[in-house]
Structure 1
C-alpha cells in the first residue's frame, strides 16, 4: 500500500507550518508503505491547514471514504492539463487540528502535535478494516508509532 500524508493547502497563518511538515510527511509516507493485507492500495491522509474551510461543526471536511477508482483525468474544462494515472482502491480522510492550539505552539513543536493527531485519527481504520477486505489496521498503527520514533518523535497511545 502506498501512503500519502499531505498538508497541501495552507493560508497566511499556516503557510510556515505546511512548509515545515512537508518533508516530514514525505519521509514518513515512504516509511509507511508496505503490505497490510486487504484490498486498499492507497491511503491518503490530509491535514487541514485552512481554518476557514472547516465545517461549521468543527469536524474535518472529509470523513473516511473508500473508493474503488479515483480518476486522474482532468475536468473537460481544463484544456492542456495532463492526465494522471487512475488510482484504485483508495482510502482517504482529512484531519482537522485545533487551530487555536496549533497556532499557539512554537514552530519547533508543531510536528510532534500534528503527528500525534494524525495517529489518533487512524483509529477510523480500525472500524473500517472489514470493509477494506481485512486490512490490518493494528499493524499499520503500530508501524506509524515505530516510524515516528525512528524519526525522533514520541507518540502517545
Structure 2
C-alpha cells in the first residue's frame, strides 16, 4: 500500500503550516508505504487547512471512501497520469482556532496526532484484512523516530 499524506489546499493563514508539514509528510509517506493486508493499494489522507471551505458542523469534508479506480486523466489540459486502483481516501479536519494559535513547530505534532487518531476509523470499514493496528503502531513509531509525539491527549 502506498500512503499519501497531503495538505494541498491552504490560505495565507495556514501556508506556514503546509511548509512545516512537507518534510514529515514526505518522510511518513515513504516510511509507512508497505504491506498491511487487504486489497487497498493506496491510502490518501488530506489535511483540511481552509476553514471557509470546510464543513461548518465540525466534521471532515470527505469521510472515508474506498474507490476501485481513480482516473488519472486531467480536466485541465495536463498530461494524464496512470490510473490508481483500490484507493482509500479521507480528510482530517483540525480545530481551526487552536491551529491559528500555534506556531508551525507546534502544529506539526498536533496534526500528526489528529491523523494518528483518525486512522482508528479504518477498523470500522470493510477493508478485507487491512491491519489497522499494525499501521497505527508503525505510524506512532515512525513519528517518534522523527521526533514527534502523537499522544492525542496532549491537545
TM-score greater than 0.5 by the shorter chain: yes
2:12 corresponding residue in structure 1: 12
Gaps of 5+ in 1: none
Counterpart check, 1:71 vs 2:71: yes
2:103 corresponding residue in structure 1: 106
SS at match of 1:102: helix
1:118 is aligned, of 108, 112, 115, to: 115
TM-score normalised to structure 1 length = 0.94
Deviation at 1:156, TM superposition (A): 1.8
1:146 corresponding residue in structure 2: 141
For residues 70 and 98 of structure 1, the distance between their equivalents in structure 2, rounded to whole angstroms, comes to: 30
User: How many aligned residue pairs are there?
Assistant: 152
2:27 corresponding residue in structure 1: 27
Give structure 1 regions of 4+ aligned residues with deviation exceeding 2 angstroms: none
SS at match of 1:62: coil
Deviation at 1:52, TM superposition (A): 0.7
TM-score normalised to structure 2 length = 0.95
2:88 corresponding residue in structure 1: 91
Deviations 1:4-58 (A, max 9, x none): 0011110010011111101110111101011000000000000000111111212
